[in-house]
Amino acid sequence: MGALISCFSAAEETKRPPPPRRRSAVNAPPKAAGELGSSERWSKGRAGRKERAEGALIHEQALAAAAALLAQQNGGGLPFDRSSSLRYPGHGQKKQALPRSSSSRARSLTEPVVQPQQLVNQDLKIDNLETNHFVLVHGGGFGAWCWYKTIALLEDSGFKVDAINLTGSGNHCFDTNKITALPEYVQPLTSFLESLGDGEKVILVGHDFGGACISYAMEMFPSKIAKAVFLCAAMLTSGQSTLDMFSQQVSIHPCNISGYKFNTNDLMQQAQIFVYANGNDHPSAIDLNKPSLKELLFNQSPAKDVALALVSMRPIPFAPVLEKLSLTDKNYGSVRRFYIETTEDNAMPISLQQNLCSSNPPERIFRLKGADHSPFFSKPQALNKILVEISKITSPQEDLRKAKKAEMLLSNI
């Protein structure tokens, strides 16, 4: 820019008379204390900018060195990608760089050089797990679409993930009002489990009403389910329905819908619209009052995810909600169960979740602090961390088998 200014100045000098003779420095009026000339101010400003740029460069180099050191301490297998301002020509074979964001913008100095998820994933060896296959089952009114963040995070960790659309949910084309039984509603899940190969197992994750759905699947296919995870979900006992579950709520209001008595809270009353598509005898579905859902289901979720949900949710079939489960210790009881509580849940308050766990204790209980009834939106990273942790929990039988193997190895030394 300085060269450009000098070009304009040279052109003007040819048209102007010579400037008046400058006074000598001796005759020039003295500068006030602390006053700087224009050249001095420019030099000082330039020095300040240079100093800040050097400081930023040093800061980025420090971040790069720290990340590289951490990777080296963990085995040296993690490739390290520098900022474009610090890229040097490589020597020998080029190492594969870390995957960058899908956006094309350059990384700013405030962003981490190495994403925390990449540092976590490098220690995860999914080949040693009982199964690396998650099957995600949505709750009432939701669809497979609600798991999009969880799917991406689990796949980034190396897992295989399938999300199921239950009958009349998501993009499954079926009239919700025509669903008359729980097996019909759960049919896409049971068909998926039937298609698994011999010896192939999955980890089922059920959200909300999806808890009753995976319970039914556990009774039907116990040998194909390694673990079952109930995410703020209906974890029922034998002879209990999802509708019965709500009678355990504290601070409740009694409801009587066509002879079906249950309890609910204020927010749920405002959000539920009972549909009578098959006559006035009993409801055929529960539709959702969209303006009331934000406070009920998404009170901690990002606005974009709330907008996605409001245009994607569908009515909930009423008959499966009424159906009482028949669960046995031989089948359902043989599958390892885990429960994830959500502390800011307005649809299933934490007190109700704790009552469910007391009535039907799982192997372990996890807690998602600050999560609403849609933790896949409000706390996706924390949820992913818990799911990965659950996948790594070994059974007592497996621990015993490993201990015996270690004893045999020691005895042969």
Task: Supply the CATH number for residue 359's domain.
Answer: 3.40.50.1820
Whether 68 is covered by a domain: the verdict is no
Whether 404 is covered by a domain: the verdict is no
In a 10 Å sphere around its CB, with 0-12 CB exposed, 13-18 middle and 19+ buried, how is residue 276 labelled? Answer: middle
Q: pLDDT tens for the chain, 413 residues: list them.
A: 444 333 433 334 444 455 555 544 444 444 444 444 555 555 555 666 666 666 666 666 656 655 555 555 555 444 444 333 333 334 444 444 444 444 344 555 554 544 555 544 555 677 789 999 999 999 999 999 999 999 999 999 999 999 999 999 999 989 999 999 999 999 999 999 999 999 999 999 999 999 999 999 999 999 999 999 999 999 999 999 999 987 766 444 455 554 444 445 578 888 889 999 988 788 999 999 999 999 999 999 999 999 999 999 999 999 999 999 999 999 999 999 999 999 999 999 999 999 999 999 999 999 999 999 999 999 999 999 999 999 999 987 777 777 777 777 777 77
Whether 64 is covered by a domain: the verdict is no
What's the pLDDT at 25?
43
DSSP letter string over 44-92?
HHHHHHHHHHHHHHHHHHHHHHHHHHHHHHTTS-S-----GGG-----S
Residue 140, both tokens = 């009432």
Whether 9 is covered by a domain: the verdict is no
The residue length of the chain stands at 413
The answer to whether 262 and 246 have CB atoms below 8 angstroms apart is yes
Within a 10 A sphere around the Cβ of 55, how many other Cβ atoms? 10
Q: Where do we find the tokens 């949505």?
A: 138
Per the structure, the count of domains in the chain is: 1
Helix (H, G, I), strand (E, B) or coil at 112: coil
Whether 14 is covered by a domain: the verdict is no
Whether 210 is covered by a domain: the verdict is yes
Instruction: Tell me 126's DSSP state.
Output: G
Residue 225: give the domain boundaries.
Answer: 121-398
Burial per residue of 147-177, b for 16 or more beta-carbon CB atoms within 10 angstroms, e otherwise: bebbbebbeebebebebbbbbbbbebebebb
Whether 376 is covered by a domain: the verdict is yes
Q: How many CA atoms lie within 13 A of 123 on its CB side?
A: 12
Q: Which residues are catalytic?
A: 208, 345, 373
How does strand 260-264 pair with strand 253-257?
Answer: antiparallel
CA distance 259 to 156: 49
The residues pairing with 41 across neighbouring beta strands, listed in sequence order, are none
What's the pLDDT at 269?
82
CA distance 374 to 143: 12
Whether 177 is covered by a domain: the verdict is yes
Q: Using a cut of 0.85, tell me whether the model's pTM lies above it.
A: no
The answer to whether 288 and 169 have CB atoms below 8 angstroms apart is no
